[in-house]
Amino acid sequence: MVDRSDVVVVGGGVMGACLALHLLEAGVRDVRLLERDGLFQGTSGAGGGFLAPWTTISPLHGAESEALPLERYALDFYRGLHESGYDIDYRRNGVLWIAASEAAWDQTQELMWLAADPDSVPVEPRRLPELTGGVVSAAGVHGAQLMPCGAQVTTIKVAKALEDRITKLGGIVDTRRPVTEIRVSGGRVTGVATPSGPVDAPVVVTAAGAWNNELLQPLGLFLPTVPQVTSRITTEPLGLPETLPVMMLQGLKPDEPGGGTVLWVRWHDGGLLWGGMYMTYPRNILVGAPVPDRLDELPTDGVLENLRVAEAAAFLPALSGKASISVKHGAPCYTPDDKALVGPMPQVDGLYVMGGDNELGVTHAPGLGKALADTIAHGRSDLADLAPWRPDRFGDRFPDQAATFVAVAESVGMLLIGDEYQPAASSGQGSA
């Protein structure tokens, strides 16, 4: 028997699940989400779940960020799930940026605080113990800034909430069903093939994260993205208060370029969930290489690098001290201009993509999902015009991962650690 759907979404991460839900809410009747594994078993399960206007605060985009409506939508969307009774560990405790050195404080002041959140305020270090329930001390902190709108969720719990909503609206969540081929006839998509039979559909959306290019390659298509290994560390319960704000720690290693990795830290089950964007091996090992079905067994050198930086956070003993930890890896996909790739693939009628998350998929997926769902169902979206995210906006400038990698390295390097950033390709590790 052949399954039929109005829209097939390939990939049950946060991108695909948010799209499937919004398609149903936009009035599409037969929506089928096909996932090779379980929901959120790819990068989304590793996601830190930090929510804030991340692109708007970044000098790379700033107040002009086209993503600001999406970022505001996400904060409302997750709060809405929480208020509907879903347990997603939603907490709106704000984001507390802590600068451990004068140079880090100067960099912090370049962030677009008021554009991202008009209620943002500087915080004197002596107020930190009170603001954090005694978890952070003042000694060793040069300055801090609070952005109250920031919130947090636990991604794997979001998966359950989305699955429940999708199925209640009549959508089908088909897990353990990998797509082996996107089927095309006469320049039009006709559905997908799976080991348990084909699914016919006039519209197919690939939202397969780091595996998007594997699916598109047989059609001669390439999305200019590079997967970057990133890891999340969770400690054992440490008796910490759940009122703790999300924290970003900058300048922990004043003697290193850019002050060392910026660490992101939040409360989780009484302990800490944290990580950082390490620039060392194995960050680039998936660039130009096959992406394994599961990311569980990737090397942990980057985790060790983060632990080394965390040791310098003496003002946060729960982080700098010894605790039992567990680790989960993901492979966020970066684009040359730090914007996602969302919309139709003009080469094949009926084929759409949703990818290039730039490590912000948990924040951007609800809004991008709504904008794409509205566009598929009604030809336009009141939330956002998808033009800035068009997947074909680069033309043929980035035909492969090697070319894309150089552009991404330049973009990320400028944003994070200035001119001293060296792409791993030139150091011989995990090159494109």
Does 334 contact ligand FAD by CB under 6 A? Answer: no
d(CA 178, CA 20): 17
Per CB under 6 A, 423 contacts ligand FAD: no
Which of 8, 19, 33, 34 contacts ligand FAD by CB under 6 A? 34
What x/- string results for residues 226 through 255 when contact with ligand FAD is judged by CB under 6 A?
A: ----xxx-----------------------
Torsion (CA) 88, 153, 314, 142 in degrees, nearest 10: -140
Cα-Cα-Cα-Cα dihedral sign, residues 211, 216, 218, 221: negative
The string over 294-324, giving b where at least 16 C-beta atoms fall within 10 Å of a residue's C-beta and e elsewhere, is ebeebeebbbebbbebbebbebbebbbeeee
Neighbours of 170 (CB within 10 A): 11
Closest CA to 231 of 270, 271, 269, 261: 261
In 63-181, alpha helices (H): 68-83, 102-108, 113-116, 128-131, 155-168
Annotate each residue in 115-154 with x if it binds ligand FAD (CB under 6 A) or - if it does not, as one string: ----------------------------------------
Closest to ligand FAD by CB, 207 vs 376, is 207
Q: Which stretch binds ligand FAD (CB under 6 A): 44-52, 156-164, 250-258, 313-321?
A: 44-52
404 binds ligand FAD (CB under 6 A): no
When binding is defined by CB under 6 A, the residue of 330, 366, 367, 369 that contacts ligand FAD is 330
Count of residues engaged in binding ligand FAD, rule: CB under 6 A: 40
Binding of residue 417 to ligand FAD (CB under 6 A): no
Minimal distance, residue 255 CB to ligand FAD, in Å: 26
Position among 5, 41, 55, 108 found at the interface with ligand FAD (CB under 6 A): 41
Element of type H or E holding 352 = strand 351-355
Interface with ligand FAD (CB under 6 A), residue from 19, 20, 46, 131:
46
Question: Which parts of 209-351 fold into alpha helices (H)?
Answer: 212-216, 301-310, 317-320
What minimum distance in Å lies between the beta carbon of 11 and ligand FAD?
3
Tokens encoding 398: 């980035």
Per-residue binding string, ligand FAD, 262-281, x by CB under 6 A, is -------------x------
Residue type, 202: P
Q: Which candidate, 371, 35, 361, 351, places its Cα nearest to that of 225?
A: 361
List of long-range contacts for 395-399, beta carbons under 8 Å, 24+ apart: 397/224, 397/336, 398/224, 398/336, 399/222
Tokens 């404080």 appear where?
Answer: 105
Query: What single-letter amino acid sits at 35?
Result: E
List the one residue from 5, 9, 23, 35 that touches ligand FAD (CB under 6 A). Answer: 35
Q: Is 198 near ligand FAD (CB under 6 A)?
A: no
3-class SS of residue 273: strand
| Candidate residues 207, 247, 287, 353; the one interacting with ligand FAD per rule CB under 6 A | 207
Q: Which is nearer to ligand FAD, 33 or 417 (CB)?
A: 33
Q: Which of residues 341-370 bind ligand FAD (CB under 6 A)?
A: 357, 359-363
CB 28 to ligand FAD: min, Å: 19
Residue 291: CB minimum distance to ligand FAD, A:
9
Asked if 42 is part of the footprint of ligand FAD (rule: CB under 6 A), the reply reads yes
Tokens matching residue 294: 């599961």
By the rule CB under 6 A, 409 interacts with ligand FAD: no
* Token couple for 16: 């695909």
Residue in this structure with the two tokens 């954090």, named with its chain if needed: 132
CB of residue 2 vs ligand FAD: minimum separation in angstroms?
18
Q: Which one of residues 9, 16, 259, 261 is an interface residue with ligand FAD (CB under 6 A)? A: 16
* Residue from the set 5, 8, 9, 13 that interacts with ligand FAD by CB under 6 A: 13
The residue ranges that bind ligand FAD (CB under 6 A) are 10-16, 34-37, 41-44, 46-50, 178-179, 207-211, 215, 230-232, 275, 330, 332, 357, 359-363
